[in-house]
Amino acid sequence: MTERINEKSLNNIPWQDKPKGYDEPVWRYSNNPIIQRRATKRSNSVFNSAVVPFEGKFAGVFRCDSKSISMDIFAGFS
């Protein structure tokens, strides 16, 4: 079964097509982690999980791996 959620292109959000031969509904962004290892004092890495338009700006969900190897989820807004 195929279900279309949104047919409109979001020109202000970068998009990567699904890799050839990949059958899963969600695929990894090739530039993750978006903030490299050891870029901040408290985190090991920051990964972009999702970004959406929100009230004329953007809202995002990010996974932050601490240096103690705890993996936490945060919301961010532009």
What are the two backbone dihedrals, phi and then psi, of residue 26, each rounded to the nearest 5 degrees? -130, 140
Which pLDDT belongs to residue 7? 63
Structure tokens at 25: 């509904």
Residues whose CB falls within 8 Å of the CB of residue 24, separated by 6 or more in sequence, listed in order = none
Cα 71 to its chain centre, rounded Å, is 15
**Domain extents for the chain?**
43-77
Question: What is the model's pTM?
Answer: 0.56
25-37 in b/e burial notation, b at 16+ Cβ within 10 A? eeeeeeeebeeee
Question: pLDDT tens-digit profile of 35-44?
Answer: 777 788 888 8
